[in-house]
Structure 1
Amino acid sequence: MVDYNGRLSSVYAAGRGMTVDEVKRWTDAFQPHLPGERPLTLLDLGSGTGRLTPGLADAFGGPVYGVEPSDRMREIAETTAVHPDVVYRKGSAEEIPLPEASVDGVLMFLSFHHFRDQQQALEEVRRVLKPGGVAFLRSQFADLMPDLFWYDYFPSARTVDAGMYLSLDAVKSLARKAGLTPADDVVWVTTEPPRTLRESYDRLKLRALSTFEHLPEDEIEAGFARLAADADRDPDRRLSVHPAAMLLLSRTGS
């Protein structure tokens, strides 16, 4: 498990922040899968510093509940991601502090792999979803891992990341056991702008990705030394953008 009350909370917004355009591209990707009426009630499960939470309220009318177990991450959200239709609450995926059938949609944005009990979490997601509601599971999957450029600098990172995630079929199996219906395949969403090597280095060096919490320090130091040298040599080189995988989970029936 990763401690988001410590160092990561101090660098997360700078290292993992999203532009207004990126947030809108995500909410546009959610739109076709949600009911057409507005307002909609949504849950941002594992909302962190609230990088997407206010955007959900803007797009769908609110209220939006940001549920986050890390006190420090939630405090940052309550200060920097304020919105009149957003409420942040302390809670976990395994014990969501909302009534049964109270939300139209649930967003799990790169939070699923942090849940202590993923089966129980999905059962809770089904409980709080209204019949016909949809959960958006934005995650990596062990059998659909992207070929990220920075894996070349940190030899253990690819294996570490793959070990954090379940395969797509394994996640679908958990969802079905929880009473959720998974879509046949993932939806691929491209929201990040192409970045230069220098821009990517400047974000990555903050170590806001939880992957770095699991790498040996000597590997981290050597990798960043190589990456810094390459960024100095070729700062304007544009890097490939990898689409993000998102699995839709529906609550069917009553």
Structure 2
Amino acid sequence: MVDYDGRLSSVYAAGRGMSPGEVQRWTAAIAAYLPEERPLTFLDLGSGTGRLAPGLAEVFQGPVYGVEPSDRMREIAAETAAHPSVTYLKGGAENIPLPEASVDGVLMFLSFHHYRDQQKALTEVYRVLKPGGVAFLRSQFSDQMPDLFWYAYFPSAREVDAAMYRSVAEAATMARAAGLLAADDPVWVSTENPRTLRESYQRVSLRALSTFEHLPQEEIDPGFERFAADAERDPDRLMPVYPAAMLVLRRPTTR
């Protein structure tokens, strides 16, 4: 488990923030699987510093509940990502503080691997979704790992990341066990803006990725030295943009 009340909370917004364009592209990708009627009620499960909750409120024109267990991350969200239709709530994925059948959509954005009991969490997602409601599981998957360019600087990073995540089949099987309908394959979404090598180094060097909480310091320090040297030599080189995997899960309209 990763402590998001400590150092990570202080760097998360800078190291994991999204541009307005990226938020817009994510909400558009989500809207493609929902009815056109408005308003729709949303749950952002593991909402962190609130990087997506206000965008969900704007697009779906209904209340958004950001449920986040970290007190400090929730405080930052309330300070920096406030919106009249967004409420940030203390809670965990295994015990969502919302009534049954109360939301049209659930977003789990890079939070699933942090849930203490993933099966119970998916059962809770089923519970709070209205019949016909849709959940969006945006995660890395152990069998669909992107070959991130910065893995080259940290030899064990890819293995560490893969160990955090379920495979697509495992996640889909767990979702079905919770009563949700799940496709066999994820949807691939391209939303990130290209970044230069210098921008990438500056972002990754904040260590806002939980990967670095599991790497040995003797690997981190020389890795960032090499990364910094390359960014100094070739600062304006554009780095690859990786499509993101998302499983779309639906609560059936009837049991």
Q: CA deviation at 1:220?
A: 0.3
1:229 is aligned to: 229
- Counting aligned pairs with the same residue, the percent is 74
2:153 is aligned to: 153
CA–CA distance in structure 1, aligned partners of residues 162 and 37 of structure 2:
39
Q: CA deviation at 1:253?
A: 3.1
> How many residue pairs align between the two structures?
254
2:78 is aligned to: 78
Q: CA deviation at 1:184?
A: 3.0
Corresponding letter in the other structure for 2:44: D
Q: CA deviation at 1:182?
A: 0.5
Secondary structure in 2 aligned to 1:246?
strand
CA–CA distance in structure 2, aligned partners of residues 187 and 119 of structure 1:
21
Secondary structure in 2 aligned to 1:224?
helix
Secondary structure in 1 aligned to 2:246?
strand
CA–CA distance in structure 1, aligned partners of residues 150 and 206 of structure 2:
14
The TM-score, its normalising length taken from structure 2, stands at 0.99
Equivalent pair of 2:154/2:219 in contact (CA under 8 Å): yes
Runs of at least 5 residues in structure 1 that lack an aligned partner in the other structure: none
Q: CA deviation at 1:218?
A: 1.1
Q: Pairwise mapping of residues 1-254 of structure 1 onto structure 2 (< 5 A)?
A: 1-254=1-254
Corresponding letter in the other structure for 1:140: Q
Equivalent pair of 2:42/2:103 in contact (CA under 8 Å): yes
CA–CA distance in structure 2, aligned partners of residues 253 and 132 of structure 1:
5
Equivalent pair of 2:154/2:220 in contact (CA under 8 Å): yes
Corresponding letter in the other structure for 2:185: D
Runs of at least 4 residues off by over 4 Å: none
CA–CA distance in structure 2, aligned partners of residues 228 and 101 of structure 1:
49
Deviation digits for residues 93-120 of structure 1, max 9, x if unmatched?
Answer: 0000000000000000000000000000
Corresponding letter in the other structure for 1:205: S
CA–CA distance in structure 1, aligned partners of residues 253 and 17 of structure 2:
37
CA–CA distance in structure 2, aligned partners of residues 251 and 218 of structure 1:
46
Secondary structure in 2 aligned to 1:245?
strand
Q: CA deviation at 1:35?
A: 1.6
Q: CA deviation at 1:183?
A: 1.8
Equivalent pair of 2:172/2:184 in contact (CA under 8 Å): no
Deviation digits for residues 30-59 of structure 1, max 9, x if unmatched?
Answer: 111012110000000000000000000000
Runs of at least 5 residues in structure 2 that lack an aligned partner in the other structure: none
CA–CA distance in structure 2, aligned partners of residues 45 and 28 of structure 1:
18
CA–CA distance in structure 2, aligned partners of residues 253 and 79 of structure 1:
38
Aligned Cα root-mean-square deviation (Å): 0.5
